[in-house]
Homo-oligomer: A and B are copies of this chain.
Amino acid sequence: MRLTTKGRYAVTAMLDLALHHAQEPIALADIARRQGISLSYLEQLFARLRKQGLVDSARGPGGGYRLGRPPAEISIANVIQAVDEKVDATRCGGKMNCQGEERCLTHDLWSGLSDQIHEFLDAISLAQLVEKRDGKNGAARQTGSIQFYPSAPDKMAKTKAALGL
User: How many copies altogether?
Assistant: 2
- Is A91 part of the contact surface with B, judged by Cβ < 8 Å? yes
Main secondary structure of the interface of A (DSSP, over half): helix
Q: Is A50 an interface residue (CB 8 A)?
A: no
Q: How far is the CB of A118 from chain B (nearest CB, A)?
A: 10
Residues A54-111 near B (CB distance < 8 A): 76, 87, 89, 91-92, 100, 102-111
Docked-complex contact B109 and A140, CB < 8 angstroms: yes
- The size class of the interface chain A forms with chain B is 35 or more
Q: Which residues of A contact B (CB under 8 A)?
A: 1-5, 8, 11-12, 15-16, 19, 33-36, 76, 87, 89, 91-92, 100, 102-113, 115-117, 119-121, 124, 129-130, 132-133, 138, 140-141, 144-148, 158, 160-165
